[in-house]
Amino acid sequence: MTHSSLHHKLYIFDMGNVILNNVYVNLPISRKLGITLEVFNMFYAEPADRMMIGKLTPEGFWDEYTHLSGTLVEEDLLKTCFQPVENKGMTDLLYSLRSLGARVVCGTNTYESHYSYMEKSGVFDHFDAIYASHIMGIAKPDVEFYQHILNSENVKAEDAFFTDDLEVNVTAAKSIEIHAVLFETRDSITSEML
């Protein structure tokens, strides 16, 4: 890749299952709580959406969980069960893009427990900027999520590239003319980026 081969002014990458693998916490949490994954998901699904847009704190989630389940949880299992693994091939790609002068940002649906972990881990250092749903107050696939990034970066949709492991998020980005590609592997997106 050379600088002249960059077709986009802005490269937006999802975090979970793109830059970081092993991001799901539901199964390890359910095991720690001694309940089935299905039962934990009943408690988690709706509050997770509120946490992702900053309307519920992790402490608030565990308060709700305690109230509804009758089981007191005093540690933030959302954080202690979060043990992601960096996708080295992808962090190398981010480095290559930035070394060519590309503007590379992260657009992630996340909440405070995971954001603070990632901040401390150093994974954010691979990016020029981080756009996190719980800080923005908007989550993918809401088109406002992408629009917020484009406005902040002062880039037109057609000059941006986006990749995510979830088809619904890719479809939403495409709907506003961003060059969006479903992430499967590093190789599967590289040809689309140039």
Give the domain CATH number at 112: 3.40.50.1000
Q: How far is CA 124 from CA 50, 66, 143, in A?
A: 23, 33, 23
Q: What is the spatial distance between Cα 90 and Cα 94, in angstroms, rounded to a whole number?
A: 6
Helix (H), strand (E) at residue 27 = helix 26-33
Average pLDDT score, the chain? 95
- The model's pLDDT over 113-125, given as tens digits with 9 standing for 90+, comes to 999 999 999 999 9
- The model's pLDDT over 89-133, given as tens digits with 9 standing for 90+, comes to 999 999 999 999 999 999 999 999 999 999 999 999 999 999 999
Determine the pLDDT at residue 4. Answer: 53
What is the arithmetic mean of pLDDT over 37-65?
96
Determine the pLDDT at residue 5. Answer: 65
Same domain, 89 and 125: yes
Structural domain tally of the chain?
2
Cα–Cα–Cα angle for 124, 127, 128, rounded to 5 degrees? 120
Same domain, 71 and 161: no
Show the tokens assigned to 27. 């199964």
Name the pTM for this structure.
0.94
Q: How far apart are the first and last CA of the chain?
A: 8
Quote the domain boundaries for residue 168: 3-22+84-193
